[in-house]
Copies of this chain bind each other. A is one copy, B any other.
Amino acid sequence: MNFDFSQEQIQFADALHRWANQDYQFEQRKHIIQSASGTSDDAWAALTELGALALPVPEDQGGFNGSAVDMLVLMQELGRALVVEPYFATVFAAEFLKLAKAHFDILEQVAAGQTKLAAALYEAQSRHEAYDIKTTVTANADGYVLNGKKTVVIHGAQADQLIVSARAGGDQLAAKGIMLFLVDARSPGVSRRDYRTLDGMRAADISFDQVQLPAIALLGREDGGADLLDAALDYGITLLCAEAVGIMEATIAATLEYLKTRQQFGVPIGKFQVLQHRMADMYMEMEQARSMATLAAVKQSSANVQERRRTVSAAKVRVGQAARLIGQQAVQLHGGMGVTNELPVAHMFKRLTMIELSLGDTDHHLARFIAQSDFAAA
């Protein structure tokens, strides 16, 4: 048993870290957020050059075939720097293609940094339930026709290609009848409404009005949509957990620094025992979250689907709990400065909050954890 990262992983993390420290500092990030597109071509080029886009892509498509643990290392670094580029959106969506073993051309473009992707899964009524789909798909002579609306699609307007879930039949919440498609974002009938999100990113509401798709747009088997969706979501969640752990590290470091320098009543406020113990609580939360984020990454490759599901849901729960406590308390310990937009801590808090709400919140994943058959099999 061995928890160490490999030499390659450490070097990769170091390279990302150097880039972010140099070219993605707090002020630079602020300008990117305020820009019209909300993303940076320079940053994208840098991430491509560093191999971040190639990392998760299979070797045959020009990638490094990186494991979930490789991605853990990477996402922690991006978390630390609060990167707002459409990286997560792209690699999460790319996972659908990898799992479906299809559209190798797109994967090649992803690896080369030439294409951005986004996954358009959730709808106005679905809340955390990805199976809750009203968007419809019907087969026709040319392939499929898509109708419906997706909401809060992260970096949906910045994407060139979209992964879209739709329902060919079955009840609104059923696993049966779910199908997944690759859709060119510029297809006739696709309209996107771009907006900011509170964590400095972008999202879009996307309408599909009689969008004609070719037959090859279908990902995987006709009856395999739910399993594919489930597996890709678990991958996405694992990435978010890793990102959150990176943010927690940065948050705790920033708060410690503040406690050591900020003076009140003639002493650094870090000398007050109540604040010390609060920090100890935050530290313990982070370590427990790190353990689960690590386990989730390791179990991504498990052949046992039950085990993957329960571990990933457990990780999302534990990371979500830690994210909330660490985010809120970091702000509290920063006092007035913590509630301004001027220090990184507020931005860390906001991103941690939004991660908690993304791809299923804590209660959603507690329920999913309980629903796995291991739970009651005592």
Number of A positions contacting B (CB below 8 A): 4
Smallest CB–CB gap between A333 and chain B, Å? 14
Question: Which partner residue on chain B sits nearest A273 by CB separation?
Answer: B273
* Chain B residues positioned under 8 Å from A277 (CB to CB): 274
Question: Which partner residue on chain B sits nearest A272 by CB separation?
Answer: B273
Q: Once the chains are docked, how many angstroms separate the CA of A277 from the CA of B255?
A: 21
Cβ proximity bits A267-291 to B, threshold 8 Å, 1 near / 0 not: 0000011100100000000000000
The quantity of this chain's copies bound in the complex is 2
A interface SS class: helix
Q: Once the chains are docked, how many angstroms separate the CA of A277 from the CA of B272?
A: 12
Q: Once the chains are docked, how many angstroms separate the CA of A273 from the CA of B277?
A: 10
Question: Which partner residue on chain B sits nearest A277 by CB separation?
Answer: B274
Question: Which partner residue on chain B sits nearest A275 by CB separation?
Answer: B273
Question: Which partner residue on chain B sits nearest A278 by CB separation?
Answer: B274
* Chain B residues positioned under 8 Å from A272 (CB to CB): 273
* Chain B residues positioned under 8 Å from A273 (CB to CB): 272-274
Question: Which partner residue on chain B sits nearest A274 by CB separation?
Answer: B273
Smallest CB–CB gap between A264 and chain B, Å? 13
Q: Once the chains are docked, how many angstroms separate the CA of A38 from the CA of B274?
A: 44
Interchain residue pairs with CB less than 8 A apart (5): A272-B273, A273-B273, A273-B274, A274-B274, A274-B277
The 5 A-B residue pairs whose C-beta atoms are closest, nearest first, are A273-B273, A273-B274, A274-B277, A274-B274, A272-B273
